[in-house]
C-alpha cells in the first residue's frame, strides 16, 4: 500500500499521489496520461483527476502499478478498477493490468479463444493476484502461457499450477531450468497452432521470441515498442543484454510478416495499418543500424 509519509514531493497537492517506492515502469503514464507524468526516473501526479473517467483511469493505474506506489487521501471504491481487468484492447485480445514487480511492471496480455480455436493464451506473466486470476478463470482460464523472454516470467509457476497450462519458452533463456513444458530452439519461426506463430528474435536476450497472432497482433516483449517521442517504432539499446547487432538482425526478420498491432512488455502499444507498420519497422531498422 502506498504511504502518505513517503509521498514524492513532485506530486501536485490533492487526492492522488505517488510515493517513493515507484520503479518508473510507465504503466500509470500509459493508462492515465492526464494524471501521471515522468518527472525523471519516477512518476508523479501532475494534475489531479477532474472527471469520473479520469478518476477511474487513475484507479486503474493504482491497480496495475507493480509496486503499489499509487495512493489516495480520500476513500475510493476500487471494485470497478479491479473488474476492468483483463481489459479488452481489440477483438479478443486483452491487457491483464496487475503488473508484477518481478517483471519490472511488464505488460502481459490474454488472447481469449474457444477450446476449438486452441484455448486462451496468456502472453508473459502478470501478478498472481486472486482478483485477476478469478477474472481469467471466468474468461476460460489459460491453456497456453507464452513467455517472450526470461525477464517477464514473474508468476509463471503459479499460473501453471492454477490452470495446468502448457508454458512455452525458448531454450536459450533457460526454459529447461525453469521447468517449461514446451521448449523451442533455434531461430526458425515456428507455428504454435494455426493462428499463432513464434518468431525467435535474439538480441534483448539470447532466447527472446515474439508471438504473431492472426497476422494482426504482434506480442513483442522487450524487443520492439512504439516511441511517442520519435513517433515511430523503436528498440531499447541500453537493455540489449545479449547483443544489439543481433537484435538489429532479428528486427529485419520481422519485415517478412504483416501485423497491425505492436503489443510490448515495456514501452508503448501501437496500432496502425500493415503498410504503415512496415514503414515504421524499416525506419526502426535503419535507426538501429545507424546506432550500431
> Smallest distance, Å, CB 244 to ligand SF4?
26
Q: Is 69 in the site for ligand SF4 (CB under 6 A)?
A: yes
Using CA atoms, how far apart are residues 221 and 276, in angstroms rounded to an integer? 21
Q: Which residue, 23 or 139, is less far from ligand SF4 as judged by CB?
A: 23
Using CA atoms, how far apart are residues 146 and 28, in angstroms rounded to an integer? 25
Q: Is 66 in the site for ligand SF4 (CB under 6 A)?
A: yes
Q: Which residue, 69 or 125, is less far from ligand SF4 as judged by CB?
A: 69
The owner of cell 531461430 is 187
Measured over the CA atoms of residue 129, residue 20, residue 152 and residue 30, the dihedral's sign is: positive
Q: Which residue, 14 or 245, is less far from ligand SF4 as judged by CB?
A: 14
Query: CB under 8 Å to 144, separation ≥6 — which residues?
Result: 118, 119, 120, 121, 122, 165, 166, 167, 168, 192
Burial (Cβ within 10 Å: 0-12, 13-18, ≥19) of residue 242 = middle
In the shown chain, the binding pattern of residues 81 to 120 toward ligand SF4, with x for contact by CB under 6 A and - for none, equals ------------------------x---------------
Q: Please state whether beta strands 109-111 and 93-95 pair in parallel, antiparallel, or not at all (unpaired).
A: antiparallel
Using CA atoms, how far apart are residues 44 and 35, in angstroms rounded to an integer? 8
Q: Is 28 in the site for ligand SF4 (CB under 6 A)?
A: yes
Q: Is 251 in the site for ligand SF4 (CB under 6 A)?
A: no
Q: Which residue, 95 or 146, is less far from ligand SF4 as judged by CB?
A: 95
Q: Which residue, 73 or 255, is less far from ligand SF4 as judged by CB?
A: 73
Q: Look at residue 277 and give its three-state secondary structure.
A: helix
Q: Is 65 in the site for ligand SF4 (CB under 6 A)?
A: yes
Q: Is 26 in the site for ligand SF4 (CB under 6 A)?
A: yes
> Which residues are at the interface with ligand SF4 (CB under 6 A)?
18, 22-28, 43, 61, 65-67, 69-70, 105
Amino acid at each position: 500500500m502506498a504511504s502518505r509519509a513517503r509521498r514524492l514531493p513532485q506530486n501536485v497537492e490533492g487526492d492522488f499521489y505517488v510515493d517513493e517506492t515507484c520503479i518508473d515502469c510507465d504503466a500509470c503514464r500509459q493508462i492515465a496520461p492526464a494524471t501521471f507524468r515522468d518527472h525523471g526516473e519516477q512518476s508523479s501526479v501532475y494534475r489531479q483527476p477532474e472527471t469520473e473517467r479520469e478518476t477511474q483511469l487513475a484507479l486503474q493505474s493504482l491497480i496495475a502499478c507493480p509496486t503499489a506506489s499509487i495512493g489516495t487521501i480520500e476513500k475510493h471504491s476500487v471494485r470497478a478498477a479491479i473488474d476492468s481487468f483483463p481489459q479488452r484492447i481489440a477483438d479478443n485480445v486483452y491487457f491483464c493490468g496487475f503488473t508484477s514487480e518481478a517483471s519490472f511492471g511488464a505488460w502481459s496480455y490474454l488472447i481469449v479463444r474457444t477450446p476449438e480455436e486452441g484455448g486462451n493464451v496468456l502472453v508473459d506473466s502478470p501478478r498472481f493476484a486472486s482478483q485477476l486470476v478469478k477474472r481469467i478463470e471466468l474468461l476460460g482460464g489459460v491453456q497456453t502461457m507464452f513467455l517472450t523472454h526470461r525477464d517477464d516470467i514473474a508468476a509463471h509457476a503459479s499460473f501453471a499450477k492454477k490452470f495446468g497450462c502448457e508454458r512455452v519458452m525458448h531454450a536459450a533463456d533457460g526454459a529447461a531450468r525453469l521447468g517449461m513444458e514446451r521448449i523451442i530452439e533455434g531461430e526458425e519461426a515456428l507455428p504454435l497452432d494455426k493462428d499463432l506463430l513464434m518468431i525467435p528474435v535474439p538480441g534483448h536476450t539470447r532466447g527472446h521470441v515474439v508471438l504473431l497472432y492472426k497476422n494482426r497482433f504482434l506480442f513483442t516483449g522487450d524487443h520492439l515498442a512504439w516511441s511517442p517521442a520519435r513517433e515511430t517504432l523503436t528498440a531499447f539499446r541500453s537493455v540489449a543484454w545479449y547483443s544489439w547487432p543481433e537484435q538489429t538482425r532479428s528486427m529485419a526478420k520481422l519485415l517478412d510478416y504483416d501485423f497491425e498491432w505492436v503489443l510490448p512488455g515495456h514501452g508503448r502499444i501501437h496500432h496502425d495499418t500493415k503498410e504503415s507498420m512496415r514503414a515504421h519497422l524499416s525506419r526502426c531498422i535503419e535507426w538501429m543500424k545507424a546506432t550500431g
